[in-house]
Amino acid sequence: MNGSNASADVPAHPGALLPLLATDERVVGFFAGVADLDATNPADHELEDGVRLASGARLEQFARAGSGDAFCFVGEGGEERPVVYVSLDGEAGPLAVGLPELVRLCLVAPWWRGAPGRTARELQAVADEYRQDMPDLDRRRDLAARALGLDPAGLPSETAALAQLAELSRGPVAAACLVVGYEGDPLAPLFGAAPDQP
């Protein structure tokens, strides 16, 4: 994987990633089984009552993690909308500006949940452990990427994807994506500080 220009990877199925995340066997196998993003039955999972955006904009769950945490679109529109992650542990934050960016993050760093507050060395240890537990990770990633119309060689590096994630967590997107809980208090930021760069 090389390059840091994630926008150069345009899926062959513009505007149609979500259906593939829910139905294509290779894609579901990677995203649900490796990246812990299950979009196969989003209607079966709903946010806790009262969990909403502080701005009043729409918060639409489209996938879940095995823990029950939610992947949600912000506002109105299609797959270009910002994506926030809402944890049952009382944390929330933006992951991507658009589903294509989230897809690239999950393809190159499916262990992104291990990133908050970690140093570059600790992040490498998390990535190494993931690869040790899943020796065919690269093959599975490449199959899923190709099924989504992405060239695996054009995916961003882990470092670039995590840097984008850190930037989102402190920028204007984070302010626009502030999630409040059922008691009306803001949920804790998902990423409080940027991880150190190698």
The model's pTM: 0.85
Whether 197 shows a pLDDT value over 50: the answer reads: no
Encoded tokens for 41: 């039955």
Q: Give the C-alpha separation, 26 to 10, whole Å.
A: 19
Q: Give the C-alpha separation, 58 to 142, whole Å.
A: 33
Backbone angles phi, psi at 38, to 5 degrees: -105, 110
Whether 4 shows a pLDDT value over 60: the answer reads: no
Per the listing, tokens 């990877």 go with 9
**pLDDT digit string (tens) for 88-145?**
889 999 999 999 999 999 999 998 988 776 777 787 888 888 888 888 999 999 999 9
Q: Give the C-alpha separation, 104 to 174, whole Å.
A: 19
The pLDDT of residue 159 is 86
Burial 34-66 (b: 16+ CB within 10 A, else e): bbbbbbeebeebebeeebbbeeebebbbbbbbe
Stretch 4-12: mean pLDDT: 37
The pLDDT of residue 15 is 52
Q: Give the C-alpha separation, 2 to 14, whole Å.
A: 22
Q: Give the C-alpha separation, 157 to 153, whole Å.
A: 10
**pLDDT digit string (tens) for 148-193?**
999 999 999 988 888 888 888 888 989 889 999 988 899 998 876 4
The pLDDT of residue 41 is 84
Whether 1 shows a pLDDT value over 50: the answer reads: no
The pLDDT of residue 198 is 41
In Å, how far from its chain's centre is CA 90? 17
Q: How far is residue 13 from each of residues 7, 43, 101, measured CA to CA in Å?
A: 15, 23, 14
Q: How far is residue 185 from each of residues 41, 54, 74, measured CA to CA in Å?
A: 29, 9, 18
